[in-house]
Structures are given as C-alpha cells and as structure tokens.
A and B are shown apart, each in its own frame.
Chain A
Amino acid sequence: EAQVTQNPRYLITVTGKKLTVTCSQNMNHEYMSWYRQDPGLGLRQIYYSMNVEVTDKGDVPEGYKVSRKEKRNFPLILESPSPNQTSLYFCAIRRTGGADTQYFGPGTRLTVL
C-alpha cells in the first residue's frame, strides 16, 4: 500500500523563522510534488520532481524551495515564511507517465503569524 508521510502535521510559527516540512514515501516512485490548498483556490502545485536531483517549478513556487537528494524524500523549505504562506500543504507521489495514479499525503496545516 502506498504510503506518503508528512511531518509535521500541524505547525504554528512566526514570520521569518525558517522551517522545513518533510515528505517521504515507501513506493520508490520517481515523481514527487508539493501542493498548497487555500479556500476557494483549490489545489495549486508549488514544485515537483521527476527524479533525484531533478526539480521544477509548479504554479506557485515563490517563497519556497525544495530538494531531492534521495528518491524517498522531498522536503519543502520555507526560508523566510510569511503570513500569506499560511495554508494546508500536501505532498504527492506517483510513477512518471500520464496514466499513473497520484497518492497524496495526509496534509500539513501551517500557520504563519
């Protein structure tokens, strides 16, 4: 069974304090992605990675960084969080290819004061 783990699940922080949200998978899938979800805006993709050391911007990458040094992990880094990054974040995985199913993590609710 596909498992996507995110940590932490809930985080309250203050403006400017660097944070990292981790995402790990047990499926050995090449593709990993980060989304944010805000009321009325649906899910918007932040960054995605097609494989180790290969990352690319999604629709809303500003203010975020990612890295993919190993296949199973894809951390999302907020170097200087701001209140407009308060959101619900989801990590997702799948094999590459247009037909493949995407599996989502349980979500991380981030509040930046």
Chain B
Amino acid sequence: DAKTTQPNSMESNEEEPVHLPCNHSTISGTDYIHWYRQLPSQGPEYVIHGLTSNVNNRMASLAIAEDRKSSTLILHRATLRDAAVYYCILGNNAGNMLTFGGGTRLMVKP
C-alpha cells in the first residue's frame, strides 16, 4: 500500500507562509492526494485535494510534484487558528482511504 511520510512538527510565525511537505514515493497513478487537518479536541477536517495539477481553494494551495512522489500544502498566511495536526493521505479508486500517518503538528507563534 502506498504510504505518506511527513515531518513530525513544524513551526511558523503568524502571518507568514507555511509549506508543509509530504512524500508519497509509491503513489499509484490513480491515487488522489488529500490533506486534512485536526484542530485540538476535534475530528479531522478536509483542507484540499488534487491528482496531478496544483490546486487552490480558500483555505490553502496544494503543489504537486511533476512525478507525483511528493506534494506541499501551502498556507499563505498562517494564523493562530491554523495550529493543528496536518495529515497527508491518499485516496484510491477502489474507494478506500489509505492510512493516515502521524501527520505534522504545526505550531504558530504570535
């Protein structure tokens, strides 16, 4: 099964951009790349997803490497409310979501 690898933690200053990396070197051609985040005491929530092209939404941007073996979640201006654990996971066309890894704990300093 394709897995993802993320740094355990990252720090950022408030109002600065944050780039959260994810490696998925064994991704298959039909796997979508999803990002979720989990705020303290809450269930995970959807952030963004993509297949091959870079994606933007109101929360974040997703940059996908040309070979699709890595991706980067970009928060353009981190706020204190963005402090959370960010998970990069893969969703395949068989329907199941592959395993969540440990995620990256993002700390935002005022």
Contacts and interface: CB of A to CB of B under 8 A. Distances in A.
Interface of A: 31, 33, 35, 40-45, 48, 50, 56, 58-59, 90, 92, 94, 96-107
B13 to A, nearest CB: 26
Contacts of A100: 91
Contact of A103 (B46, B91, B92): B46
Given A98-B91, A99-B49, A106 B42 contact: yes
A98 B43 contact: no
A33 B97 contact: yes
Contacts of B21: none
A56 B93 CA distance: 16
B32 A99 contact: yes
Interface residues of B, number: 24
Contacts of B36: 102
Most buried by B among A41, A42, A97, A99: A42
Given A33-B97, A44-B99, A45-B99, A99 B42 contact: no
Contact of A101 (B30, B46, B87, B100): B46
